[in-house]
Chains A and B, each alone.
Chain A
Amino acid sequence: MIPEAALAETARILGPRGFLHSAHDLSLYEYDGSVDKHRPELVCFPRSTQDVVELVKLAARHGLPIVGRGAGTGLSGGAIPLAGGMMISFSRMNRILEIDLPNERAVVEPGVVNLDITLAVAAEGYFYAPDPSSQRACTIGGNVAENAGGPHTLAYGVTTNHVLGLEAVLLDGSVIEIGGKAPEVPGYDLTGLLTGSEGTMALVTKIIVRLMRRPEAVKTLLAIYDTADDAAETVAEITARAIIPVAVEMMDGMLLRLIEDSVHAGYPRDAGAVLLIELEGLTEAVEEQVEQIQQVCGLCRARELRVAKTPEERELLWKGRKNAFGAVGRATPHLYTQDGVVPRAEVPSTLRFIEKVAAEYRVQISNIFHAGDGNLHPIIMFDMREPGAMDRVRAAGEKILEHCIEVGGSITGEHGVGMEKKELMDKLFSPDSLDLIRRFKQLFDPECRLNPGKVLPTGRGCLEIRQRPDDLRY
C-alpha cells in the first residue's frame, strides 16, 4: 500500500490528474506485451525531467520501488512492476525537442513514439533507422531501455548504434547528461552502458539520436519456397556472397496461412516458407544486388520471386510481415514470442529443432525470423485456460533458448532479458560475469529499487527480492 502521505506528495508534484491509484486504473498497467503481469500501486505521469526528479526523491523517502514504462509493448516483461510500487509512465514526456538536420541529430523525450521521429524528418529525406515491429506504438525510451532492434537493423544496427547521448535521472535524484551530439566524449561510454540496461540503472529523460539520409532506391522482393530449408539456405547463400540487404525476413508456412486468413497480403497458402528481402542504396547498387539475389533464389529452388514495382506493391509485401503478430493473435487465445539468436549458419538446423520441440511439447509454433542476422521469433500458440498449457509453453520456450545457447547464440536479440529469460542467464554467462552485472546494478541502485527482479537470475540479483513472481493471474 502506498502511504496516504506519499499520494498527497504525488498530487503536489503532478497535480490531481497527474497520477492514478485506483485498483481499476492500476489494472491497466499491470501487463506489457509479455505473458506475465503484476500490478503497480501508483502510476505517475511526469511532464518534465524535474517532475521525474521529484518523483524519484519521493520514492526514496517512502522506500518505493520504481519502474519506468513507455508504451508497454515490450515482450520480456521489462515494464512489469514485480515489486509493485511506483510506475513512472513517460507518455506525457513525448515532445521532439529538436531536429538538427545539418548535424544529423534529433533530441527527443522518452515518450516519443519511434515512428514519429521518422515522420518528422521524412519530408526532408531523413529517417531514424531502428524499426521494431511495434514502431507505430513503442516509445524511444522503451527502445533505449531494451536496446530495441527491428527488421532493418541488419544493415543499420540496433538502438545503441543510433543513440549518441542521454539525460537520465539517477536514484539519488541527480540528473546526468552523458554523451552528446558530437561523436566522442572524454571518459567512459556511459550512454552505451545504460542503453539496453532494461530500466534497471537509471530513468532516461532525454535522448539524442542519429538521423540518417534516406537512401535513393528501395527494392523489395518476396521469394516463395516449398520448404523452409530452401529458404534458410538462401539466407546462408546471400550472406556467403557478400550481399548485404537491409532486411531479410523469413516466415514459415503456418504463419503465411494465418496471415492470409487475416490481412490478405497475397501470400501463397501452400508454400513452405517465404523470404521478404529488402535492398536499399544508390539505384545502381540496388539494381546489381537484385540481380544477384534473383540468381541465389533460383539456385536455392525458390518457386516464385516477386519484385515490388511500385510503393503500393512494396507496402503489400510488407503488410503481411507487419501484421504477423496480429494475425496469429486472431487464431489463438494466447501467444508467446521467443527472441533467440543463432549464428546465421545455424538457422536451418534451428528451424528443424523448433519443429521437434513443437511436437514433443504438443504446442503449435509458427516462425517469423529476422533471418539475415539469425534472430528468431518462434511464436508459440496456446490456450492458457487449458490445464498445463502454460507449463508446456514455458518448457518449450526454454528448450528452444537452450538450443540457441548450445549452438553459440543468445537468448535475446532485441527484446531484452526482462523477467522471462533471467533464469537462463547463468547458462549464457559465467558466475563472474553475472557478478559484475550485479555490482554495476548496485553501483547505480544500491537499494535495488529500480525495476527489481529483472535481468539477473533469482539469487544473483538483489537479495531482498528472492521470491519468484508466480502469480500469473489470467
Chain B
Amino acid sequence: MICPDTPPLLAQSLADLRSARTTIRLGGQFTKDRIGGRLVGEGTPVSTRNLSRILRYRPNDLTISVESGVRWSDLQQELGRNGQMIPLDPPWSGGCTVGGVVAANQSGPRRRLFGTARDCVIGMTFATLEGKLVQAGGMVVKNVAGLDFGKLMIGSWGTLAALAIVNFKVFPIARGTRTFLFESASLAAAIECRDGVLKSVLQPLSVDLLNPEASAALGWNGFALAVQAAGAPPVLDRYQAALAGFRVIDCAVWDRIREFTPDFLARHPDGVVVSKSSTLTGVADAVRELPGPVVSRAGSGVSYGHATHDVAPNMEKPGGFEIMERIKRMMDPDALLNPGRLHGLL
C-alpha cells in the first residue's frame, strides 16, 4: 500500500501510477468498502492515512485545516478540547478519516439542523492524476472566489482526485442535549408526529424514524421517531413541554443510531445497505419499501434499508449525466481512480 505523508507526495504517487496505467484503490482507512459500490478489479491501494497533521486550528476564528488522513475521532477530540465540533456525525466515526467522510459525503442524525459536508467544508486541496495540487475555497467562512470544486469532490468517492487537505468551519458544542422518543404501531401516526415537529417552531438537531425491525434492535416498539434537541436547560425544557406524547430517553442512543449501518454490516458478512433519497413527503414510502431494518433521516429525506444479501442498487442515470461523464474523462481519462465506486455510475 502506498501511503504518502505529504500532499506533494500524494500528487506524485498518483502521477506515477497514472503513467504506469495502474488502477488505483484510493481511500483513507477503507472503512466504507462495503458501501457506495464495490471496487472493480484489484487496484494498487493508495491511502491518505499518513497525511495526518492538523495544519491550522484557530479556535477564536472557528476554523480548522487538516490533512485528509486525520482520523475523524481525533479531529473531533482536538476540537472538543476547546468546546468545539464539526457538526457532522458520520457512521464508522471511530475509524474513518476526514477525507473519507468528505469524499463519501457521509453525515448522520444531526443532518437535520447542520446539513452535510456541503455546508461545513470551506476549502480544500486535492491531488489530481496529473500530479498537481489544486486549491478550492480557503480558510474563511464566506468565499466565492473561483469555482467551487469542493462541492464536486464532496460525494465523488475518490473517482476524480484525491483529497489532501480539508478546511472546515467549526461550531460550539451545545450546552446540553435531550432526546425524545415517540413509538407507534402505525407508520402514518409516526409520520404525522414528524410533520408536527417539522412544522412547529422547534429546531431539533435530529429527527430520525426507525421501522419496527430497526427499533426492536434498540429495544423499542413499533415505528419509532427519535428527536434530539440541543441548548441550555430552559430550551430543552421547552422541547419537553412541546413534545407531549414523547418520552425522554438517554442521548447515548444516538451513537447506536449513527453506527446502525456499520453494526449491521459487521453482523452480516453478505449484508448490504440500500439508501434512498426522497422528499420529506416521500419518506413514508421509502420506509415501507426499503428492505430489512430501516433507519430514516426523516427530517432530511435520506433513508437506509439493510438487506442480508446483495441487492442490485437502482441506479437511474441522474440529470446532467453526460456532463458528469465528461468531467470524469477530463480528470481521469483512463478510468483508473476507484473504478466501480459510486456504484459504477462514473
Contact = CB atoms under 8 A, between A and B. Distances in A.
B60 A242 contact: no
A374 B140 contact: yes
Interface string B117-145: 01100000000100011111011111111
B330 A439 contact: yes
A435 B238 CA distance: 53
B319 A177 contact: yes
Given A102-B195, A102-B281, A373 B320 contact: no
Interface in B322-339: 323-324, 326-327, 330
Contacts of B143: 341, 410, 412-413
Interface centre among A176, A187, A425 (most CB of B within 10 A): A187
B301 interface: yes
B132 A432 contact: yes
The size class of the interface chain B forms with chain A is 35 or more
Contact of B142 (A146, A375, A434, A444): A375
A189 interface: yes
Interface stretch (B14-22, B146-154, B209-217, B249-257): B146-154
A247 B67 CA distance: 31
Contacts of B231: 282, 284-285
Interface in A425-474: 425, 428-430, 432-437, 439-440, 443-444, 455
Interface stretch (A60-68, A91-99, A108-116, A153-161): A153-161
A188 B324 contact: yes
Interface stretch (B24-32, B220-228, B272-280): B272-280
A288 interface: yes
Contact of B232 (A149, A285, A439): A285
A9 interface: no
A326 interface: no
A104 B327 CA distance: 31
A19 to B, nearest CB: 29
A28 interface: no
A312 interface: no
Interface stretch (A29-37, A44-52, A192-200, A360-368): A192-200
A7 B46 CA distance: 57
A193 B152 contact: yes
Nearest to B151: A192
Contacts of B324: 187-188, 190
Nearest to B278: A182
A120 to B, nearest CB: 17
A139 B129 CA distance: 39
B41 interface: no
Given A181-B279, A183-B301, A345-B58, A409 B138 contact: yes
A281 B200 CA distance: 12
Nearest to A434: B146
A288 B133 CA distance: 46
B156 interface: yes
A209 B143 CA distance: 20
A282 B238 contact: yes
Interface of A: 100, 102-105, 125, 146-147, 149, 153, 157-158, 160-161, 170, 176-193, 195-197, 213-216, 236, 239-240, 242, 244, 281-285, 287-288, 341-345, 370, 373-375, 408-417, 421, 425, 428-430, 432-437, 439-440, 443-444, 455
**Pairs A-B, 10 closest by C-beta atoms:** A192-B151, A242-B172, A184-B277, A216-B201, A177-B319, A413-B142, A432-B132, A178-B320, A284-B234, A410-B143
Interface of B: 58-63, 83-84, 105, 115-116, 118-119, 128, 132-136, 138-152, 154-156, 160, 171-173, 195, 198-203, 231-232, 234-235, 237-238, 275, 277-282, 300-302, 315-321, 323-324, 326-327, 330, 342-343, 345-346
